[in-house]
C-alpha cells in the first residue's frame, strides 16, 4: 500500500482539498485499497478546526465528498509512516524540514508531479481564489495518480 500525506500551513484549505480530490480520483480508479491518503498542517493555528467553507463549497460543486475532519499538525511519526509527504508550497517544505528533520527525501511539492517543479499552489486563505487552487490541486493529483499507477 502507498501512503500519501498532503501538507499545507493550516490543514483547512489546500491540503484537505488535495486529500479529498485524491481520494476521489483513487476511488474512481478502483485503487482505494492500494492507496491511503491523509493531510496535515505545519502550524498549530487551525488545529481542531474543520475544512474551510470555501474548500467545502468547491468540492461540493465538483461532487467530491468532503466528510467532516479536524485539522492536525504533522508529527515525526508521519515521515516514518508515509511514502510521500507532499507540500503545497516551498514554505511548507521549509517548515516541515524544521519540524521533522530531513525525512529521507520524501518532501516535495504537489505540482512537481505535474511537470511544474518548484511551483507553489496558491493559498486561497489569502488569495480568495479557491477555483485556481482547485485547478492546480486537480492537475497535481491527476499526475500523482498516474505515477502511482505505474508504481503499483
pLDDT tens-digit map of 8-43:
999 999 999 999 999 999 999 999 999 999 999 999
The pLDDT of residue 79 is 86
Pairing assessment for the beta strands 2-8 and 35-41 based on DSSP bridges: parallel
Which residues are part of the catalytic machinery?
Answer: 8, 14, 123
Q: pLDDT at position 80, please?
A: 87
The CATH number that domain 2-151 falls under is 3.40.50.2300
pLDDT for the residue 105: 61
> What pLDDT is attached to residue 115?
96
Nearest to 108 by CA among 83, 142, 138, 72: 83
- Is the Cβ–Cβ distance between 96 and 74 less than 8 Å? yes
* CA-based nearest residue to 17, from 140, 149, 115: 140
Model pLDDT, residue 150: 94
Number of C-alpha atoms within 13 angstroms, CB side, residue 136? 22
Cβ contacts of 105 within 8 Å, gap of 6 or more: none
Please give the Cα distance from 78 to 99 (Å, whole number): 11
- Taking the C-alpha atoms of residue 130 and residue 134, their distance in angstroms, rounded to an integer, is 6
- Low-confidence spans in the chain with pLDDT less than 50: none
Pairwise CA distance, residues 44 & 104, whole Å: 24
pLDDT of residue 106: 79
Amino acid at each position: 500500500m502507498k501512503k500519501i500525506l498532503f501538507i499545507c500551513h493550516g490543514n483547512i484549505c489546500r491540503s484537505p482539498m488535495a486529500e479529498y480530490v485524491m481520494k476521489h480520483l483513487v476511488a474512481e480508479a478502483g485503487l482505494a485499497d492500494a492507496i491511503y491518503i491523509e493531510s496535515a498542517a505545519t502550524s498549530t493555528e487551525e488545529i481542531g478546526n474543520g475544512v474551510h467553507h470555501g474548500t467545502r463549497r468547491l468540492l461540493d460543486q465538483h461532487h467530491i465528498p468532503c466528510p467532516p475532519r479536524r485539522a492536525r499538525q504533522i508529527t515525526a511519526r508521519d515521515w516514518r509512516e508515509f511514502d510521500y509527504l507532499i507540500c503545497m508550497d516551498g514554505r511548507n517544505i521549509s517548515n516541515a524540514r524544521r519540524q521533522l528533520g530531513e525525512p529521507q527525501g520524501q518532501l516535495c511539492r504537489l505540482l512537481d508531479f505535474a511537470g511544474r517543479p518548484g511551483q507553489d499552489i496558491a493559498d486561497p486563505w489569502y488569495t480568495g481564489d479557491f477555483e485556481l487552487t482547485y485547478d492546480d490541486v486537480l492537475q497535481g493529483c491527476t499526475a500523482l495518480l498516474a505515477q502511482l499507477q505505474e508504481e503499483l
